[in-house]
Amino acid sequence: MCTIPPAPPLPPRPPPVLSDNHSPTELTKIDSQNPSYDYSGLCEWASEQPCLWEVCIKYNLCLKSAPYRYKFNNCNSILQVGPTCGLAALSMLVKGKVTADKILNIAKLEGYSNNGEMFSCINMAKLAEKVFSLADFNNVKCYIRNGGLVSKEIIDKMLEGAVLLVPYDADCNHSPCLKNGHTAHWGIICGIIIIKDAGEFYDSCQNNIYVISRHGKSRFLAAWSLADLAKSNKNLWEFSPKRGDDGLKYILPEGGIGGKEGLRNQFLVIEGL
């Protein structure tokens, strides 16, 4: 299990000549070698939304021109305590009106969790409904989607304002990775950026689409490839053996996290926030 690294500062100033055709990873490597340039004129399209502007600068997304399409719904950061990433995410979605501690108490009473772990999308959806009701978010619609994270339907829903709650494997920097479910983590997908017009079926050009995420292990937004997130979500096969040896008792669904009642290839769609 990776420890939470210190909160990073705003990224180094980008170099004078950048191309939006480069990947964020490639540009980040270049940035670290060019600390002497200012941010003037970069990401002007996002300047009215400081959080969005900052994450796009940090990950070098659409620095010189506006994306083809985008949508961003900010929510304030709430850091998790222990394995409560899903509960912290729910508290963020209701603007802290229901605390993560109170959500943990509900999850324990309902038999969904012992320590804050949520290894079932079905139970997470049930818990979310209770939390939205307690917060008086009466017009919110929450439902489970099996597969199709990279699909025109889901992309269109995000462009219309829907927020996703997605389980995935988190690397040491909390970005999506493929660890067979051993580092399962919950992230809020609160924004989407389609960099260029790829025609009618823009959803087929996966490296052209990035999502903005917030989660309980960082105060800062992150930007990830939607395709990478989908691959990670599909790779949640098994509960980590290391967690099984940590002395805590976890509640696992029938069939494990890779089963129909678990996490693999499933996520929550939330509309009306």
Amino acid at 161: G
Residue 127 Cα to chain centre, angstroms: 18
Residues in the chain: 273
- Structure token digits, residue 111: 């038999």
Please state the φ and ψ torsions of residue 146, each to the nearest 5 degrees: -100, 110
Which candidate in 75, 85, 121, 142 is catalytic? 85
Between CA 225 and CA 37 the distance in angstroms is 26
Distances, alpha carbon 153 to alpha carbons 18, 68, 162, 182, in Å: 32, 18, 11, 29
Annotated catalytic residue 85: yes
Nearest by Cα to 179 from 141, 126, 235, 129? 235
Nearest by Cα to 259 from 119, 114, 108? 119
Nearest by Cα to 118 from 273, 270, 266? 266
Residues with active-site annotation: 85
